[in-house]
Amino acid sequence: MSHETTPVSPESRRAEILSLIEREGERTIDTLAERFGVSGMTIRRDLQALSDHGRVIRTHGGAAPAQRISFEFRFLERTRHRAAEKDQIAAVAASLVQPGDSVLLDSSTTTLAIARRLATIGGLTVVTTSLPIASELFGREGVEVMLLGGSLRKDSPDLIGALTENNLDLVRADVAFIGADAIDHAGYIYNRSNELGRMLARMADAADRVYAVADHSKVGRHELMRFAHLRDWIGLITDSGLDKAIARRLEKHGVRLLQPSKGAAGG
């Protein structure tokens, strides 16, 4: 049954459609046609007009909010990028964790891969700023998840801010795995965000053993915020594709490398 009693202009109707989709999420053409008392063809024209202006994303039989779809797509793309390398890193990292350990994980997609490996280890407490990691481990038998509080970042599904940093002061974990946007030849670790880099440094201070985790494409580069040096942590866990010359330069700067081909003993 239609909720519309009087005709409205296409512009007004499209504004209402956009508001509805942004508020309630994906809507079908049939639902919108009934809601506004117009034909499915009219709704199709409305959705196409909104799509042409980048306000919605057309889906099969309807439309969804453009901002949310774009956000989810970007995150999924990040998880798929160099997935094989991330899985190599995750296997090495998981081998360093024992049942009963408390583990700090940041919000990188590499630590998400580690979380999937940790799900098979019993008696763990995982502390994280990452909503996807919390979701991945939710309900897993033998894994207790502690999600640090804070503010949700606009461009990534994780928490940050003063509350997050204050809560880290209350935590003492056995081991932390921390991602990096870049690591230079001298072993300095970088993040694109000043605020996130500061929080990651606090996270490192909250664990007895700290490992950086980054695939080989991030090594030999730098970004805006330098927040730590690898020689102050136990080492860098990376994949087997790291250039040997870069590896030698890092080792000369006191960096310990852990790769699948070299094993993961010690730590």
53-67 mean pLDDT: 80
Asked whether residue 50 falls in the same domain as residue 170, the answer is no
Q: What does the block give as tokens for 176?
A: 């932390």
Q: What is the pTM of this model?
A: 0.74
Asked whether residue 54 falls in the same domain as residue 104, the answer is no
pLDDT score recorded for residue 67: 66
In a domain, 2, yes or no: no
In a domain, 139, yes or no: yes
In a domain, 209, yes or no: yes
Asked whether residue 136 falls in the same domain as residue 165, the answer is yes
In a domain, 245, yes or no: yes
CB 234 within 8 A of CB 256: yes
Asked whether residue 157 falls in the same domain as residue 85, the answer is yes
In a domain, 265, yes or no: no
pLDDT score recorded for residue 106: 97
Asked whether residue 215 falls in the same domain as residue 88, the answer is yes
CA distance 172 to 255: 24
Asked whether residue 69 falls in the same domain as residue 86, the answer is no
Asked whether residue 106 falls in the same domain as residue 227, the answer is yes
Query: Does the pLDDT value for residue 5 go beyond 80?
Result: no
Domain that holds residue 222: 81-258
Asked whether residue 64 falls in the same domain as residue 147, the answer is no
Query: Does the pLDDT value for residue 54 go beyond 80?
Result: no
In a domain, 267, yes or no: no
Count: domains in the chain: 2
CA distance 101 to 83: 26
Q: Is 73 exposed, middle or buried (0-12, 13-18, 19+ CB in 10 A)?
A: exposed
Asked whether residue 136 falls in the same domain as residue 179, the answer is yes
| CATH classification at residue 177 | 3.40.50.1360
Q: Is 126 exposed, middle or buried (0-12, 13-18, 19+ CB in 10 A)?
A: buried
pLDDT score recorded for residue 73: 58
Closest by CA to 128, choosing from 85, 95, 157, is 157
Asked whether residue 125 falls in the same domain as residue 17, the answer is no
Asked whether residue 54 falls in the same domain as residue 157, the answer is no
Q: Which one-letter amino acid corresponds to residue 209?
A: R
Q: Which residue has the higher pLDDT, 153 or 117?
A: 117
pLDDT in tens, 158-176: 999 999 999 999 999 999 9
pLDDT in tens, 236-248: 999 999 999 999 9
pLDDT in tens, 71-120: 555 676 777 888 999 999 999 999 999 999 999 999 999 999 999 999 98
Q: What does the block give as tokens for 43?
A: 């709704």
Asked whether residue 175 falls in the same domain as residue 63, the answer is no
| CATH classification at residue 56 | 1.10.10.10
In a domain, 5, yes or no: no
pLDDT score recorded for residue 146: 96
Provide the mean pLDDT of the chain. Answer: 89
Query: Does the pLDDT value for residue 262 go beyond 80?
Result: no
